[in-house]
């Protein structure tokens, strides 16, 4: 449906430019228009209209282009069509997750934007459940954003200039069999007590309505049980946090699902 708008916009642009051309020609060959026409020109503020209409059309074009991209990345992100294990481009998953979160990353009236540094290594395609992996990336990135936002709310504008809020995403192929994705933030960090309970279902330090405490426990299951990888955390209160996902590049073929997985 976005394509109806997108596709027709270029025609709309051509037609309006033709019509404006026609008006121009009329003006040229009719130096003394009828008073009623003059009144009409005045009423609709023709000069302004001529200038504004093409601008409106082009911003509509930019808007639909953006909608197209978001729809594409949502489709890419959810991979609803792919319940199967498949070789996927991990960087594509990270990028579409970031695109979905872009609204939370950009500058707001009360704080600067959050910078995202990508250190993408040379990764092979990785066999995994793309939809699930993207969900994990979403959980970890959303937590990182929450953490830097909390740190920003406790900081001053000057301090923010020296230590801008940042999220760093590093991917590496650690050996022949596995890859790693590290997501680091310079947010509020965690105490040892919080770190000890991090992966427990329903454990949250966020206010009611904001946190469910399920993100990390679901992520842990997805990585450790479904992909037979690992999810580890390093954190220091007031410094920041780093989560590292390690997953095998190839999953063992014909693995029997565990009883727990079957039950799902
Ligand atoms: N990047 C992070 N920085 C600081 N604390 C974090 C980070 N990620 C997770 N946490 C802590 O772990 C808790 C559990 O996270 P999660 O399972 O995603 O639940 P939720 O985000 O809904 O609270 C959070 O409430 C927070 O205290
Ligand atoms: Mg969370």
Q: What is the pLDDT of residues 166-217, one digit of tens each?
A: 999 999 998 999 999 999 999 999 999 999 999 999 999 999 888 889 999 9
Question: What letter does residue 184 receive in the DSSP assignment?
Answer: E
pLDDT above 70: residue 254 = no
Looking at the CA of 208, name the nearest ligand. Answer: 1
Query: Which H helix or E strand runs over 236?
Result: strand 230-236
Which range has highest mean pLDDT (148-157, 199-208, 231-240)? 231-240
pLDDT for the residue numbered 81: 53
Looking at the CA of 242, name the nearest ligand. Answer: 1
How far CA 27 is from CA of 23, 30, 55, 247, in Å, comes to 6, 5, 22, 70
- pLDDT, mean over the chain: 90
pLDDT for the residue numbered 139: 95
Higher pLDDT, 209 or 165: 165
Query: What mean pLDDT comes out for the span 78-94?
Result: 81
The pLDDT confidence band at residue 138, using thresholds 50, 70 and 90, is very high
pLDDT for the residue numbered 253: 61
Q: Do β-strands 126-128 and 178-185 pair in parallel, antiparallel, or remain unpaired?
A: unpaired
pLDDT for the residue numbered 222: 92
Q: Are 168 and 117 in contact (CB under 8 A)?
A: yes
Query: What mean pLDDT comes out for the span 26-45?
Result: 91
- Where does 62-199 show beta strands of DSSP type E? 86-88, 115-120, 126-128, 166-173, 178-185
Query: What mean pLDDT comes out for the span 4-16?
Result: 90
Sign of the torsion formed by the C-alpha atoms of 198, 209, 130 and 149:
negative
Query: What mean pLDDT comes out for the span 101-116?
Result: 91
pLDDT above 80: residue 14 = yes
Query: What mean pLDDT comes out for the span 63-82?
Result: 75
pLDDT above 80: residue 30 = yes
Query: What mean pLDDT comes out for the span 17-37?
Result: 91
Sign of the torsion formed by the C-alpha atoms of 92, 94, 97 and 103:
negative
Q: How far apart are the C-alpha atoms of 20 and 59, rounded to whole Å? A: 18
Nearest to 133 by CA among 72, 195, 99, 89: 89
Identify the weakest region by mean pLDDT among 97-101, 155-159, 178-182, 231-235: 155-159
Gap from CA of 199 to ligand 1 centroid (Å): 9
The pLDDT confidence band at residue 111, using thresholds 50, 70 and 90, is confident
Return the CATH fold of 86-262: Heat Shock Protein 90 (3.30.565)
Q: Are 137 and 181 in contact (CB under 8 A)?
A: yes
pLDDT above 80: residue 257 = no
Residues with beta carbon inside 6 Å of ligand 1? Answer: 139, 143-144, 147, 185, 187-190, 194, 198, 203-206, 211-217, 241
What does residue 13 show for φ and ψ, rounded to 5 degrees? -65, -45
pLDDT for the residue numbered 133: 93
Gap from CA of 213 to ligand 1 centroid (Å): 7
pLDDT above 90: residue 119 = yes
Gap from CA of 39 to ligand 2 centroid (Å): 61
pLDDT for the residue numbered 164: 92
Tell which atom from ligand 1 comes closest to the C-alpha of 218.
17
User: Which tokens sit at 14?
Assistant: 């051509």
């Amino acid at each position: 449906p976005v394509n109806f708008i997108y596709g027709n916009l270029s025609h709309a642009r051509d037609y309006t430019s033709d019509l404006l051309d026609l008006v121009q020609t009329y003006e040229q060959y009719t130096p003394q228009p009828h008073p009623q026409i003059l009144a009409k020109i005045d009423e609709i503020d023709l000069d302004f209209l001529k200038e504004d209409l093409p601008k409106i059309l082009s911003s509509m074009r930019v808007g639909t282009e953006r909608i197209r991209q978001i729809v594409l990345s949502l489709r890419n992100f959810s991979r609803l069509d792919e319940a199967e294990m498949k070789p996927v481009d991990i960087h594509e998953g990270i990028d579409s997750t970031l695109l979905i979160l872009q609204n939370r990353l950009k500058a707001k009236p009360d704080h600067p934007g959050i910078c995202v540094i990508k250190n993408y290594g040379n990764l092979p395609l990785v066999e995994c459940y793309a939809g699930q992996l993207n969900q994990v990336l979403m959980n970890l990135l959303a937590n990182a954003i929450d953490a830097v936002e909390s740190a920003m709310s406790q900081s001053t504008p000057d301090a923010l200039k020296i230590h801008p809020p940042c999220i760093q995403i590093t991917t590496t192929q650690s050996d022949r069999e596995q890859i790693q994705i590290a997501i680091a933030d310079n947010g509020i960090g965690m105490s040892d007590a919080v770190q000890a309970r991090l992966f427990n279902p329903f454990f949250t330090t966020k206010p009611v309505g904001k946190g469910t405490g399920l993100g990390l426990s679901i992520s842990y299951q997805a990585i450790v049980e479904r992909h037979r990888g690992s999810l580890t955390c390093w954190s220091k209160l007031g410094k920041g946090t780093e989560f590292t996902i390690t997953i095998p590049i190839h999953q063992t073929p014909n693995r029997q699902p565990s009883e727990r997985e079957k039950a799902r």
